[in-house]
Amino acid sequence: MFDGILSLEKTALERLTQHRRVSGSLGTEMEEMLSLAGILWDEVEGEYFSFDQFLTEANQTIVTELIPHENYS
């Protein structure tokens, strides 16, 4: 079920990104609503992203790559 939600979110972010690329800004009110929901525009990549998903991936990276596993043995 969680994978289905992430897939749906990814599709929605792709559609928002495409709309912004074609039409320009989505408008101040829409940008504010997205921001409140944790959806932000990445100026470098030129796409919307979920801040929650970004934090989840960053935490996974920290746990799997940066923290020595022997600390948990």
> What is the domain count for the chain?
1
For the cut 90, the answer to whether the pLDDT of residue 21 exceeds it is yes
Q: What are 41-69's pLDDT values in tens digits?
A: 999 999 999 998 889 888 888 888 877 76
The whole domain housing 66 covers 2-72
Q: What share of the chain is helix, strand, coil (3-state, %, to 5)?
A: 70, 10, 20
Which pTM does this prediction carry? 0.72
Positive or negative: CA dihedral 12, 14, 17, 19: negative
Q: How many helices (H) and strands (E) does the chain have?
A: 3, 2
Write down the pLDDT at residue 6: 58
